[in-house]
Amino acid sequence: MTDLSALEDRLKRCRLLFLDFDGVFTDNRVIVSETGLESVICDRSDGLGIRLLRELTDVRIVIVSSEENCVVGARARKLNVDCIQNQANKVEVVRAELARSGVAASDACYVGNDLNDIECLDYVGTAIGVPNAPSAIWPHLDHVTSRPGGHGAVREVCDLILRSKNVRTERPERQKCDCQTEMGESG
């Protein structure tokens, strides 16, 4: 694993963030109804982290999923990020997106959680996994989030990137209003 200072140096250069969906945005479980309809649970804080990263930096965000699932596409649309699904060979997608964006692999980060992410993790400059990932991928990781997939792991990565780029996300202190209401009372 990379120490935090070295990790922040790598993430400072991050221009393209690739995110697996199942196991990263979710806890890798799926709810299946009797009609076969699938549902998953995502952490809303991940969405805010992505919004901050999109609005405050030049980092492009791409969800890469080996399955095609309308849940993944719906979440990507809501988050206003690119989404590439139904990709058995995820590393080919990573290579193509890097070339299309003109971004060096060393300036990209991939967040994954399972064996089908290893090639991507090895290809990019910064490889991040979640703590509930199988131990087989751990040797391929530069960092493991403290939060598991589906419980704020994406937000944690977004916060790390923002911090490494010295981007402040706190709201400025509110000014006390010293105005008077219609009744002449201070409020």
| Residues spanned by the domain of 78 | 4-164
- With respect to residue 131, please indicate whether it lies within any of the assigned structural domains: yes
**d(Cα 109, Cα 137) in Å, to the nearest integer?**
15
Judge whether 20 and 126 are in contact, CB under 8 Å.
Answer: no
Query: Which pLDDT does position 100 carry in this prediction?
Result: 96
- With respect to residue 175, please indicate whether it lies within any of the assigned structural domains: no
Query: Which pLDDT does position 87 carry in this prediction?
Result: 87
- With respect to residue 170, please indicate whether it lies within any of the assigned structural domains: no
Q: What does the DSSP 8-state code read for residue 183?
A: T
Judge whether 128 and 143 are in contact, CB under 8 Å.
Answer: yes
Query: Which pLDDT does position 124 carry in this prediction?
Result: 98
- With respect to residue 14, please indicate whether it lies within any of the assigned structural domains: yes
The total domain count for the chain is: 1
For residue 184, which amino acid is it? G
Query: Which pLDDT does position 18 carry in this prediction?
Result: 98
Q: In sequence order, what are the beta bridge partners of 38?
A: 32
- With respect to residue 172, please indicate whether it lies within any of the assigned structural domains: no
Nearest-5° Cα angle at 16, 12 to 19: 110
Which CATH number do you get for residue 71?
3.40.50.1000
Query: Which pLDDT does position 186 carry in this prediction?
Result: 47
Report, as ranges of residue numbers, the positions in the chain whose pLDDT lies below 50.
186-187
- With respect to residue 181, please indicate whether it lies within any of the assigned structural domains: no
Query: Which pLDDT does position 177 carry in this prediction?
Result: 54
Structure tokens at 34: 């009797």
Q: Please name the residue ranges forming H helices in the chain.
A: 4-12, 44-56, 70-79, 90-101, 118-123, 153-164
